[in-house]
Amino acid sequence: MMTKTAASALLLALLPLSAPHRQAVGALAYSAAPTAQQAPGLSDSAFAALSARVSEPGGYFDSDNLISNESSYLHVLGAMRRIGVSGGTYIGVGPDQNFSYIAQVRPKLAFIIDIRRDNLLQHLLFKSLFELARNRGVPIVLIRCHAPQSVLESRIAERSKRADDASEATLNVLDSQRASFEAIGDDEGLRVIDADTTRSSVAPEVLASLARVLT
């Protein structure tokens, strides 16, 4: 039996969603539009209260491995199609491969649980993107922000002096991130916009680039 203590540092009630966004999300998460049989959506406040009630506070975890949608995880989809798995309530653990399973199963309600609170934040980000998307054909664009090492170090030092920054960024964290950085390969097929954050005009430049990509 999966207990709250063992498994629920993270919960995401993906569907049903709040009523104003239901149609947009259904178009993205599923290949067909939502139907009248879809369960009533949770309000934003009800969703937040549910997530807080069944989740534990964040704590230490000895890995930064936030797993993405790797194709090797989806080998059971064929069997799911053959036996006709669909509807009901979906319960999954951890990785965002769950979204592919949810798109196949089309449940009325879906929960994703994991011991890592960082995965909660990642899945909430995806949930927001699903709600904002007009349809499932909206492209994903990666904005790659960068600045010289000296500038990054000065920013961290300034934030540390102010003691009002919510992030946990330190010079050690910066060094660790730079050491483990992996460049995006051409084979990944991502649309990437480079943003030089030392430029005062970076925000309008990025918006202009986004407009060109999305039109």
Q: Residue 81: in which H helix or E strand, if any? A: helix 77-83
Q: Say if residue 16 is preceded by a cis peptide, omega within 30 of 0.
A: yes
Cβ-contact 93, 123 below 8 angstroms: no
Name the residue range of residue 186's domain: 141-214
State the sign of the Cα–Cα–Cα–Cα dihedral 193, 173, 64, 129: negative
Amino acid of residue 108:
K
Query: Which distant-in-sequence residues (6+ apart) come within 8 Å of 12 by Cβ?
Result: 51, 110, 111, 112, 113, 120, 123, 124, 127
Strands 141-146 and 109-114 turn out to be unpaired
Residues 81 and 9 in one domain: yes
Residues 31 and 71 in one domain: yes
pLDDT at 55: 86
Residues 150 and 75 in one domain: no
Residues 182 and 128 in one domain: no
Q: CA torsion 61→62→64→65, rounded to 10°? A: -100
Cβ-contact 107, 88 below 8 angstroms: yes
Residues 150 and 195 in one domain: yes
Count of structural domains within the chain = 2
Residues 21 and 117 in one domain: yes
Residues 34 and 123 in one domain: yes
Amino acid of residue 47:
F
Beta bridge partners of 13: 111
Q: Enter the pTM of the model.
A: 0.54
Please list the pLDDT of the chain residue by residue as tens digits (215 residues): 333 333 333 333 333 333 333 322 222 232 333 443 444 567 888 888 988 888 887 777 777 666 666 667 788 888 988 999 999 999 988 877 888 889 889 998 888 888 887 788 888 888 888 888 777 777 778 899 999 999 999 999 998 888 777 777 889 988 988 888 888 887 777 889 999 999 999 999 999 998 888 77
Residues 149 and 113 in one domain: no
Residues 106 and 146 in one domain: no
Nearest alpha carbon to residue 198 among 149, 143, 156, 147: 147
Q: Of 132, 150, 184, at which residue does a domain stop?
A: 132
Query: Which distant-in-sequence residues (6+ apart) come within 8 Å of 6 by Cβ?
Result: 115
Nearest alpha carbon to residue 77 among 85, 67, 69: 85
Nearest alpha carbon to residue 99 among 79, 70, 64, 135: 70
Residues 22 and 79 in one domain: yes
Residues 64 and 98 in one domain: yes
Q: Of 76, 109, 132, at which residue does a domain stop?
A: 132
Residues 116 and 87 in one domain: yes
pLDDT at 69: 62
Q: Of 132, 161, 184, at which residue does a domain stop?
A: 132
pLDDT at 150: 94
pLDDT at 123: 84
Q: Can you give the C-alpha Rg of the chain in angstroms?
A: 20
